[in-house]
Copies of this chain bind each other. A is one copy, B any other.
């Protein structure tokens, strides 16, 4: 079967179409025929070599962690052939561990997980993949086309669940929400927020005309240009925010978020920056945390429950929004286009098989 993998020789990484044997499901595993696999910022970091690891002893890593597929061989599991499924990303490294046993692989610390397509395990960008049935989440057939968006939405479901948990000891009544970052994760999160909060904002550093700004405004949200309004000045320029969702990986944003929050507000951090030292007014930020009961919470990955919540959220999103968000779905012959990273590309996927054809 065909797969898309990254290889590294010297300092050079190449993304290639490769031939691999079709995998055989072990006991408890199903064989899945891949339909579509999304591309995101993490894939680009994996390709650049700044994030993730190849599987032990391998000279390549099959890419892809945002997949949707159809069960080809249920192999005696509770699944049925023909069912649509979305795979979760983390797998136990050696046998299992407590985090996986209790269904919370997203809370496992480093060394206690692999991530398919990212950390030490091949991804889903292949014509077929196998997976233990417990890591395959059923998807309604009408969502087949958009199923590769379940994994990124699940990241948001977890981050928001954890952010809301921080505010669960009192009667929190959030009205305003700000998304930092107008990449594909930021935009799909904004679309979900638009349904939950009275007033939403999305921050980016692009100038008009720009397709992401068009989407932000089409959603009914307010675009905040970070080159004109730094995060710390958003309360003065717009309003203080009850919820801030950081999806930029730009470290100063994590700390400016404290100032941009309204009293009793919470910031969810999702970016993964490299080391970067800079000055902050730590006394002021510490005081702000305390006197206004603010919280910051980091969030990574997601568990099967978040995938299920993401499927519900996806079903409620406007198809017109999804059409604008997904700027391209490319067959194997044009897979390179799916990895383009320019200002007209928002969200792309590689299509291995069409849902209609199966």
Which of A's residues lie within 8 Å of B, judged by CB? 102, 104, 106-107, 109-110, 161-162, 164-171, 249, 251-252, 254-255, 263-264, 269-300
Q: A104 is contacted by which of B107, B170, B278, B297 (Cβ under 8 Å)?
A: B170
Q: How far is the CA of A162 from the CA of B297 in the complex (A)?
A: 13
Find chain B residues with CB under 8 A from A271 CB.
286, 290
Q: How far is the CA of A296 from the CA of B286 in the complex (A)?
A: 10
Find chain B residues with CB under 8 A from A276 CB.
281-284
Q: How far is the CA of A276 from the CA of B279 in the complex (A)?
A: 10
A264 close to B107 (CB less than 8 A)? yes
B290 close to A162 (CB less than 8 A)? no
Count of this chain's copies in the oligomeric assembly: 2
Find chain B residues with CB under 8 A from A272 CB.
286-287, 290-291
Name the distance in Å between A252's Cβ and chain B's nearest Cβ.
Answer: 6
Find chain B residues with CB under 8 A from A277 CB.
279-283
Q: How far is the CA of A284 from the CA of B290 in the complex (A)?
A: 23
Find chain B residues with CB under 8 A from A300 CB.
290-293
Q: How far is the CA of A296 from the CA of B297 in the complex (A)?
A: 7
What 3 pairs across the A-B complex have the smallest Cβ distances?
A289-B298, A276-B283, A109-B263
- Contacts A166-B166, A170-B107: A273 and B283 contacting too (C-beta < 8 A)? yes
A-B contact pairs, 21 of them (CB 8 A): A104-B170, A162-B166, A162-B169, A165-B169, A166-B166, A251-B286, A254-B285, A269-B290, A271-B286, A271-B290, A272-B290, A274-B283, A276-B281, A276-B283, A277-B281, A277-B282, A277-B283, A279-B280, A290-B300, A295-B295, A295-B297
Find chain B residues with CB under 8 A from A263 CB.
107, 109-110
